[in-house]
Structure 1
């Protein structure tokens, strides 16, 4: 069933040939805004469906593919390619995250798509862009986060291991969604479409604009503690083992207020901390003083005092604690939806609100080929021809192996 149009992108149809994270996340962001997203998968499906041996619907797949409809096309077949071009003919946007040149070799490169639908906005997400010595390499997030400088900003030098979420996948997905929205705006009601290129490594460098610009202008190399030092941000722990953060930034009132909270007025006279510049230079020493003081009382004692003195602060939540935070609850950032098996699921809600157009009701991620009969007239279209009439995608731009990636 076609979703009831609602949200600022109601009436916009998006064809997604994505797998793993970057392409699916970009399309998921558009679905959250009301777009009708049709996810095109190979007969094997997006590999993330089966992450960690979890069958046809891993939690990871569900997170990046909610609110979409799903069809199966075998792009090695003439029928599969023809069906894809038929879908593109009536679409507004097509997103893919294959390696450079793969879509063209399969028969749906940007030139072909423009002839099929001159108003189509096509978006290609790649790891390293279309050119250069790394362009054709498989581009997993860990590789991009290392090459693009992200790990140098979040991983301490004495800890040689990747850390954190899929930075480059998620940031390139956000960049792609932003670029698609800009292209739709430029197209307007009667203008031509656009081909948009987004690279994972470029998205990271754009995100690291402060560190990158500072180096290009001054030669200073930022590391994991550079931003906290300048921002005068600290992490502390109460006597009960619960953590919280303090962010003093530039206003001097936050420093003097913090001394009242901690009942440590003598620190104001300490030459190591007398000025903001001194506190930046002696960050580690001040960090030790704050940790030693806050360890004397439980976290809630400090949170109450920080509120009373209007100091920027907050509990350091884990994901397990996040949804119990009263502020998160007040913002209604969790919703219950019906899962693919009819069960009830709690999912993060979109953080943006549109007071006139609203947003669509959240829906679970689709089963493999769930909407094939609805959109194609058959649950599976395009059996491979002997020898393969068309080359199957050799790799996704993100998180795919050279030999096994699929559309």
Structure 2
């Protein structure tokens, strides 16, 4: 039986490069082989693999490199512990917990988590119990459907695990999470080291199959994931041109309509704009109260891919160089786009002022060059995590006894 391989590299570029021939100098194929795809081995020559696509998206056949600069781009399927693949692999860096740093990009595929007993089962209830704040626990259980409950629970766990990880803690017991008046979650106490991460903040989003999280040590962080589903929950088509008419600028609508008459193609472009606008207002903290049509986005593809972009924003007709956005198509067969925004502290909307007081380096403390350097720092790939990765190590034994799978 031919060996099967799973793509674990290239999340930050929309996948890995495919070439027509075995030679590294042969012609590159336009589309990339997306992260998470499974391929069948047709030929193997050193570190070069000729494959046939089994699942995922990208060219049906071609040649790829198994590794680059010592990092795996593909691993044999038998070596992958779960269908959720970390990229780069876990051995290359610490993903969660103490030592994982201050800048996180995490994603959990909710389709892959089916807790026994659903929301009333021991696994779900154990995870719910890790959330100290009673109102947050209640808000999870207010949802009617299990899929909504899963997304709500996992988003809250991501915020807490990111906070605990940034603080080098192995438990959530000392972590206090609050929300602004606009419902933006933030780490209230304790705070991260001022010298290394004076303005540490975290943001989450969930839609469709994905719950995603981004954190930043100095800039405001905003994130949004958009599912490419052009129907309501009842299955009725959404007239997005009419319903969202005021939320895109005339130039953005022109760009949407330029992608041909197929409404699904247009909706994918629309969803990319929508994700960017959501990440922008979620970083600010005012949500959909902001007139979205006043923020106009411009994109350029990251080198070598059509599935990852770098973006800038024009606000009320003026270029805003204090902002930077990076957008990726998520791996897998179900199309989702995720945007991470980095923005200036002066754009915070925080009526109560509690979140603002946790930010200890003011915008005026940065020179223009320092701020641009912050914006230009690498926006990392997304680590696709199993649910067990959201459990702090001090509680891992309890999680496994409740039916969860130990991680790592």
Q: TM-score, normalised by structure 2?
A: 0.23
Bigger strand fraction: 2
Q: Which has the larger radius of gyration?
A: 1
Which of 1 and 2 has higher RCO (CA within 8 Å, sep 6+)? Answer: 1
